[in-house]
Amino acid sequence: MHKMENTPKKLTIFGLVAEGLSVFTYVGLVLIFPFFDRFTFYKDILAEMTASEIESFNYIMYLIYIIVFIFAFVFLVIFIINLIIFTKLIKGIYSKEKAKKVYLYQAIWGGLIMMINLITGVLYLISGIQGYNSLVDKIEIREGI
């Protein structure tokens, strides 16, 4: 079984917390978005628009809602997967070979998520690279001398 080193472990935990906060924000937006018309700033914006502008504005708001909903769903699913996988990695349940694959996935996911959530991306990227490098077979040059 593979025991995770302290630095990648802490970075992974912080990454999971940051990712969880991000997902919580997306889900919160999805839940609040349908009630935007009840906020006073929304009514003030609409008061200064023509009927065609209001129609266009409502259409754009609907598209934004759909995009946020898709992001919330996708990131919630990925967060649950990451929570399961990374928790097992932190607890030392994986073999060395399986841990290498998880570290590689973590680094790749960190690189991809950096475009959307910089903090989580950097934490996962560094943790994945450090963890993967700690498991790479190192050849001792002095052994043959």
pLDDT at residue 5 greater than cutoff 60: yes
Question: Comparing C-alpha atoms, which of 67, 71, 83 is closest to residue 25?
Answer: 71
pLDDT at residue 133 greater than cutoff 90: no
Q: What is the DSSP string of 51-111?
A: HHHHHHHHHHHHHHHHHHHHHHHHHHHHHHHHHHHHHHHHHT-S-HHHHHHHHHHHHHHHH
- Give every CB contact of residue 108 below 8 A, 6+ residues apart in sequence: 128
pLDDT band at 77 (very low <50, low <70, confident <90, very high): very high
Q: Using one digit for the tens of pLDDT, what is the confidence trace for 11-63?
A: 899 999 999 999 999 999 999 988 887 877 777 888 888 889 889 988 998 99
Ordered by start, the domain boundaries in the chain are 6-136
Q: What pLDDT, on a 0 to 100 scale, did the predictor assign at position 17? A: 94
